[in-house]
Structure 1
Amino acid sequence: MSHRRPKSPNMQNYRPQLTSVLSFGHRLSGVAQSLGALGLAAWLMAGASGQDAFGSAQALLLSVPGRIALFLVTLALFYHLCNGVRHLVWDSGRGFELRAIYAGGWTVVGTSLILTLALWTWGLA
């Protein structure tokens, strides 16, 4: 006979909040940066290996999936940077009021997007 265990009442009513989503995003952006660093190392190694290897690496990076990956790594870099600055403000003991927490969170998101788009616009010009 199988008994169904009751679910925690907190799990049934849980709704992700901005702070929890940003915290998860910070961890995810760190992983993305690590993968981007591996990609950068591979690109540099291809460059040191000769024209054929470098040409193949460039073709991969300039493909649509490659450009999407580069864009996402750029976004991860700026998000992680902006959120790190936000944490430095918190380390100073400021910004813990609820309004400041949400304003800072949305500022991190907006600034990350603006910086990413600005860099890509400047780079494509």
Structure 2
Amino acid sequence: GISPSEVTIVAKEIIRLHNEQHVPFEDITLLVSSRTRNDAIFHTFNQYGIPLVADGGQQNYLKSVEVMVMLDTLRTINNPRNDYALVALLRSPMFAFDEDELTRPALQHGDDKEADCLYDKLERACI
């Protein structure tokens, strides 16, 4: 879980953003790994006057499309040669590539032994 000192740091940053940069509270989201044991968050946010709405839904936000796209984006940035992350990202609503668009560069450069991954094949297709 998150420690009370970490919650205090987060609360102070939220107050700073709200007061100095005029970020509305409703534009700020705090994602936590568990729906339980968040008493420190509720207590500290209440102390600082930060309104808090806990999502009581059963859907795991980590499996939402938006979060999955962001995770695949970060995975692709970290390692562009990770075919799983790159294909997931290109197939996502952000890019909406279809199978034909993804297959074409692979087929065009299928005999290219230096281009072992989709990223290399896409890079060669753009040259």
- Shared fold (TM-score, shorter chain, > 0.5): no
Question: Which has more helix, going by share of residues?
Answer: 1
State the TM-score, normalizing by the size of structure 2: 0.25
State the TM-score, normalizing by the size of structure 1: 0.25
Structure (1 or 2) with the larger CA radius of gyration: 2
